[in-house]
């Protein structure tokens, strides 16, 4: 069976894990955590503070707490995304307002955001779907003009770019995921990227259970105490060690992912054009992360038949994201602003092909042959 995804730990991950164990610091905020955070900060251009967290979802929760929400405050989110893009804000008191994504990139549509803004709007969450940037040239000024906090859910887009600038550096806050399914992983993990310096010290406190332990660890106070809201959102140094091993191999992982992505794009193009199957589109001003390669088939029946066709050939292809505005919880706690026809269509038609660094050329040839033999 060719799986849809396979995490790969071919570097120094085990060695660092062992080092963390023998070094005796296995809880959070240890030497590997700082090393990974500093490396991420350096690669993001040096103006962000990165805090490793237990997941991207928890980083989104931290963003929600940092917004200081009052009941009735609204956060605008794309309907076509993972549940916690919205759920993290709901958990901390916000009303999610679901808007559509644009047909070309499946990212939040700036015109739909603008139409959804009310006097209760506090923030906009932009997901860079598949690691292809949302329209930051429109979203940044729109949020500025309305005094809204822009948050990037950058789970897919680590070191992707918009106009040459790294994703995760446009919003006041951004979140990363290091879940098993992401380009680099430590199993479960994430990060909060804090670009607004005014939010750094509170973010550190939230992550450390509402205490000023980070200041204590830096020797800035001689004891630590409970000072604010917070939870247990620090990543274990064991996992930070694994993540360092992954980060050191980032370039080789990405090179391989891009080769696979480009091969799908070129070898499936004619077949797709002949059948009206849509492939991913990357606008010229964006550097993508080769996180997702998808096909959008004609309708849900064709899509389901396609998945079965591949499964019969021992290949696992998957679809994802039910539109949040139609989900049970979305209907109960959120509000839809405008229609979301693109989100609904993507949910019915999109299928993701296997894409991971260790997918061999022969395995990819099998996937491509299986796709081309589908009628
Ligand atoms: C867009 C998006 N946001 C958030 C998440 C949640 O990430 P995590 O599993 O690290 O909490 C995911 C996970 O797949 C995602 O795709």
The finding on whether 57 has its CB within 6 A of some atom of ligand 1 is: yes
Please count the other Cβ atoms lying within 10 Å of the Cβ belonging to residue 31: 15
| Residue 208, pLDDT score | 96
The finding on whether 56 has its CB within 6 A of some atom of ligand 1 is: yes
Query: Is residue 375 scored above 90 in pLDDT?
Result: no
Read off the pLDDT of each residue in 75-93 and give the average, rounded to a whole number: 98
> 64 near 231, Cβ under 8 Å?
no
Distance 156 CA to ligand 1 centre (A): 8
Q: Start-end ranges of CATH 3.40.640.10 in the chain?
A: 13-248
Distance 209 CA to ligand 1 centre (A): 22
Q: Start-end ranges of CATH 3.90.1150.10 in the chain?
A: 250-372
CATH fold of the domain at 13-248: 3.40.640
Residues 6+ apart with CB under 8 A from 33: 52, 234, 235, 237, 240
Which pTM value belongs to this model? 0.98
Atom of ligand 1 nearest to the CA of 59: 11
22-68 tens-digit pLDDT: 999 999 999 999 999 999 999 999 999 999 999 999 999 999 999 99
C-alpha distances out from residue 219 to 4, 214, 228, Å: 46, 9, 20
Answer whether CATH 3.90.1150.10 is correct for domain 250-372.
yes
Query: Is residue 367 scored above 90 in pLDDT?
Result: yes
> 133 near 162, Cβ under 8 Å?
yes
Give me the phi and psi of 278, to 5 degrees please: -90, 140
């Amino acid at each position: 069976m060719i799986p849809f995804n396979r995490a790969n730990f071919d570097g120094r991950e085990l060695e660092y894990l062992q080092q963390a164990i023998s070094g005796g610091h296995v809880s959070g905020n240890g030497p590997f955590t700082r090393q990974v955070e500093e490396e991420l900060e350096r690669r993001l251009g040096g103006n962000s503070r990165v805090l490793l967290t237990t997941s991207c979802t928890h980083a989104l929760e931290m963003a929600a707490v940092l917004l200081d929400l009052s009941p009735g405050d609204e956060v605008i989110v794309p309907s076509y995304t993972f549940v916690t893009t919205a759920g993290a804000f709901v958990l901390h008191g916000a009303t999610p307002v679901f808007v559509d994504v644009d047909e070309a990139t499946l990212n939040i549509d700036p015109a739909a955001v603008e139409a959804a803004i009310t006097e209760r709007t506090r923030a906009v969450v932009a997901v860079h779907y598949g690691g292809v940037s949302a329209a930051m040239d429109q979203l940044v000024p729109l949020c500025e003009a309305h005094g809204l906090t822009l948050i990037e859910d950058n789970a897919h887009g680590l070191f992707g770019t918009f106009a040459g600038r790294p994703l995760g550096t446009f919003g006041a806050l951004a979140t990363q995921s290091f879940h098993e399914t992401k380009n680099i992983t430590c199993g479960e993990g994430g990060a909060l990227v804090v670009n607004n310096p005014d939010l750094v010290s509170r973010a550190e406190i939230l992550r450390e259970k509402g205490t000023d332990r980070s200041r204590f660890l830096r020797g800035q106070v001689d004891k630590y105490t409970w000072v604010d809201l917070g939870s247990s959102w620090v990543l274990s140094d064991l996992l930070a060690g694994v993540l360092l091993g992954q980060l050191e191999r980032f370039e080789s992982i990405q090179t391989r992912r891009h080769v696979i992505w480009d091969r799908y794009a070129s070898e499936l193009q004619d077949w797709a054009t002949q059948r009206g199957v849509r492939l991913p589109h990357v606008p010229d001003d964006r550097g993508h992360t080769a996180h997702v390669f998808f096909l959008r088939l004609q309708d849900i029946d064709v899509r389901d038949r396609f998945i079965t066709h591949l499964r019969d050939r021992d290949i696992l292809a998957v679809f994802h994201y039910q539109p949040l505005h139609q989900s049970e919880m979305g209907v109960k706690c959120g509000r839809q602003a405008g229609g979301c026809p693109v989100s609904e269509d993507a949910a019915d038609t999109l299928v993701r092909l296997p894409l991971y660094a260790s997918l061999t050329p022969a395995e990819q040839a099998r996937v491509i042959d299986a796709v081309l033999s589908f009628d």
